[in-house]
Amino acid sequence: MAKREPMSETQARGVRYAREREGHLTWLDTFSGTALGVLAVASGIYTYLGVSSLLDDNGAMSAFAAIAYSVAVSVGIFVFWSYLLRLFPAVRTARARMGLLGAMGLGSLAIIAMSSWLNAAALAGSAAVEQHLAETVQDYQGALERTHEIALSAQGLERDVARVRQSFEDLSEQEAAGSLSGLAGRGAVFRVLRQKSAELSGLEAQIATQTPLVDDAFAEGNQILSRMRALTVEPGPVEARSVEFSEQAVRLAGLITRLRQLSVAPLVERAAQDLAASVVLPELDGSNPEQRGAQGATITSVLEVLAQRAATLERAAQAVQAMPPAADSTYTPISSADAVILYARNFVPSWAGAIAIDLLPVVLVLILAITQGAIRSGREGAAVEDTLTLAELRAALAAVRDVDAAMQDSPAHMRPSEDAPAPREETQGQVTPIKST
């Protein structure tokens, strides 16, 4: 029999390191299952909280359904990672490892889909709903300010109306002095000018009555916005605050609509169109044909000026109406889970924690795989008897003694004959007879 060469120093060092790593793994194995169970239970608890926020009914059946779902998640996470912790480090071929990596990826996605987003909802659900309320307040504030801006621009048309009215009053005074038609007094031309001046004066007064209404509506809108802002940061359950917030949002939406209706721009546009179209021409009261001709010519000029001023006023009103209106703002109640998804970018730490509690075992799987690979590498090239520890050697000797004792106590016909070949032990490519002691 060929004599086996002793191990080299490198092989001996590798075997020693492999034994050391095996000792560490043996110690870590004592609590790895418990740690994995704690992680699975913690994930299940947060999953229960997330599921509870999605269920509208608070009855016993809903609670049972949430518990059943969270228990299923905990069991699934524990079983899935237990499989990988045992199987992934044990496989050796690249094909098998790639297959298990693919299975681990699919399983991780499934865990995120069924658990992690609910964990995030439990961790940051209330904050996400408050974020949704704050975003809604900003939208409503922008809509209120824009509508108020358009209403104020419409109220600014009062100055344009006053300017046109004043121009007709000045012309009527000139006509009374005889500077237009050449006939002093309050004749036909004077009455036409006064007629249009009175119409514009009535329109101006009507616009002025809208100013307090616009101011009051804007002040009330700011009060509602102030209450809505307070609801976003008040202590207490966010669900109860969302109910009052919804009521305030409905009030504010109605007020914005009312403020939009207070705009006088359409009224000024119609008045400007009627200003030149509806003229009641008085009877010419000149004492002779020359005076009546002068009055007619003056009235024609007045009508031309009237058409020009009306067109200017109409364009001003149309410019106000052409201003882009405020975007429609509508508050939509949202669940904590949906809010976490909608505002995920604002809650990255919560999402990271929710996913980490489910996928932390990935790191454990990789650590075990690397360690097992290092152990196999350290044992490579060493014979079986060289890798035996003292405890394993003692156990093997005790087993041999037990076998010998059992054979001696057995009947004679069951004992092996002395001429029978001795049993042999196979050790890594060579066969060594087992000698009884």
Let me know if residue 222 belongs to a domain: yes
Number of H helices and E strands in the chain, helices first, is 14, 2
Indicate if 279 and 145 belong to the same structural domain.
yes
Indicate if 86 and 178 belong to the same structural domain.
no
Indicate if 64 and 154 belong to the same structural domain.
no
Let me know if residue 411 belongs to a domain: yes
φ/ψ (deg, to 5) at 425: -110, 130
Neighbours of 369 (CB within 10 A): 18
Indicate if 324 and 365 belong to the same structural domain.
no
Indicate if 119 and 131 belong to the same structural domain.
no
Let me know if residue 339 belongs to a domain: no
Let me know if residue 272 belongs to a domain: yes
Indicate if 378 and 293 belong to the same structural domain.
no
Indicate if 264 and 396 belong to the same structural domain.
no
Let me know if residue 3 belongs to a domain: no
Indicate if 160 and 269 belong to the same structural domain.
yes
Indicate if 153 and 271 belong to the same structural domain.
yes
Q: Which CATH number does the domain housing residue 143 bear?
A: 1.20.1260
Residue 307 structural domain: 127-334
pTM above 0.85, yes or no: no
> Could you tell me which residues come within 8 angstroms of residue 32 by beta carbon, excluding any fewer than 6 positions away?
85, 364
Indicate if 180 and 101 belong to the same structural domain.
no
Indicate if 184 and 316 belong to the same structural domain.
yes
Let me know if residue 171 belongs to a domain: yes
Residue found under tokens 């509506």: 217
Let me know if residue 1 belongs to a domain: no
Total number of domains constituting the chain: 3
Q: What is the pLDDT along the chain (437 residues), one digit of tens a residue?
A: 445 555 555 555 555 666 666 666 778 788 888 889 999 999 989 888 888 877 766 677 778 888 898 999 999 999 999 999 888 888 888 888 899 999 999 999 999 888 888 888 888 888 888 889 999 999 999 999 999 999 998 888 888 888 888 877 777 776 666 655 555 556 666 777 777 778 888 888 888 888 899 999 999 999 999 999 998 888 888 888 888 899 999 999 999 999 988 888 888 888 887 776 665 455 555 555 666 666 666 666 666 777 787 788 888 888 888 888 888 888 888 888 788 888 888 888 888 888 888 888 998 888 888 887 777 665 555 545 555 556 666 777 777 777 878 777 766 555 555 554 555 544 444 444 444 33
Q: Which amino acid is at 418?
A: E
Please tell me what DSSP assigns to residue 322. Answer: T
Indicate if 200 and 217 belong to the same structural domain.
yes
The alpha carbons of the chain give a radius of gyration, in whole angstroms, of 47
> Could you tell me which residues come within 8 angstroms of residue 348 by beta carbon, excluding any fewer than 6 positions away?
none
